[in-house]
Amino acid sequence: MAEQHTPRSLIVTLYGAYGRTPDGAPLAVAGLIRLLGALGVDAPAVRSSVSRLKRRGLLVPGRTAEGAAGYALSAEARELLDDGDRRIYDRPAPRLSDGWVLAVFSVPEAERHKRHLLRSRLGRLGFGTAAPGVWIAPGRLYEETSHTLSRLGLDGYVDLFRGDHLGFETTSEAVARWWDLDAIATRHEEFLAAHEPVLRAWADRREVPPEDAYRDYLLALDSWRHLPYTDPGLPADLLPKTWPGERSAEVFAMLHAQLRDAGLEFVRESLGAEAAETAETTKAAAEAAEATQSASTAEAADVRGPLSLE
């Protein structure tokens, strides 16, 4: 099945990879359009997706240092991306000795929307279902789970436990019941089918053109960043011998190491071009205003307003 990269997902991926500026400065809209255009996304789709992310409170409008209209990550969005870094970029080898974390929740019927939110969030954290109302995940996910549920105000509905699986079926049999391993394996295989050939192609290239590196890296990251949440990272002893997860993690790690920094060069060029265009436009506007004033038109002062680029 062909991968689907939606404009909104690509924008989130772009901000996660390259948009967390130290000073929280916005990325210019024109720069975003240029960067997404390199991925085959047209300008109307970029603007529409940015508007939706703004309505969701993930992007906030602002002006760049050059005066261009742009968008920065909200504090909430930045926290979500920071939280995701450990999952996406740091995949420690899971150990059975880490045990398990269990989430047991009870939500009043009058607040069943929170029950749905709890199930959705636990699923997105990588939890499997041990029984109705009882969810399970590898023990190393305890702190992330506790932090996430507290941040969402859901901690009052959940009890968390840590422990070992003591039977009666084998733990590998139980894991196959708690998670849909076939579905998770399929996701890994789809990632490999799309991006392992890209890795092989880069092995044959002597040069690393920044735009090509940016495109291939961002598409790989957009696919990969969902997988560490679909796959909770189970110990190898509990998984089928042909499990594709380790190989897909290797492929992403190699693409990240080879392409991420080269892609950053293209991002800087694209945003730098926007700054240069803004400066040139501002200069031309100032010169036009001065020429108008020299002609002694009484309205000349009104021309010297803030320059809107959008």
pLDDT the model gives residue 96: 87
3-state secondary structure the chain: CCCCCCHHHHHHHHHHHHCCCCCCCCEEHHHHHHHHHCCCCCHHHHHHHHHHHHHCCCEEEEECCCCCEEEEECHHHHHHHHHHHHHHHCCCCCCHHHCEEEEEECCCHHHHHHHHHHHHHHHHCCCEEEECCEEEEEHHHHHHHHHHHHHCCCHHHEEEEEECCCCCCCHHHHHHHHCCHHHHHHHHHHHHHHHHHHHHHHHCCCCCCHHHHHHHHHHHHHHHCCHHHHCCCCCHHHCCCCCCHHHHHHHHHHHHHHHHHHHHHHHHHHHHHHHHHHHHHHHHHHHHHHHHHHCCCCCHHHHCCCCCCC
Inter-CA distances, 173 with 51, 180, 183, Å: 46, 12, 16
pLDDT the model gives residue 273: 59
What count of other Cβ atoms lies within 10 Å of the Cβ of residue 115? 17
pLDDT the model gives residue 109: 80
Residue numbers of the chain with a pLDDT score lower than 50: 1, 275-310
Express each pLDDT in 39-95 by its tens digit.
999 999 999 999 999 999 999 999 988 888 899 999 989 988 888 888 898 877 788
pLDDT the model gives residue 179: 95
pLDDT the model gives residue 83: 84
Please give the model's pTM, rounded to 2 decimal places. Answer: 0.81
pLDDT the model gives residue 200: 95
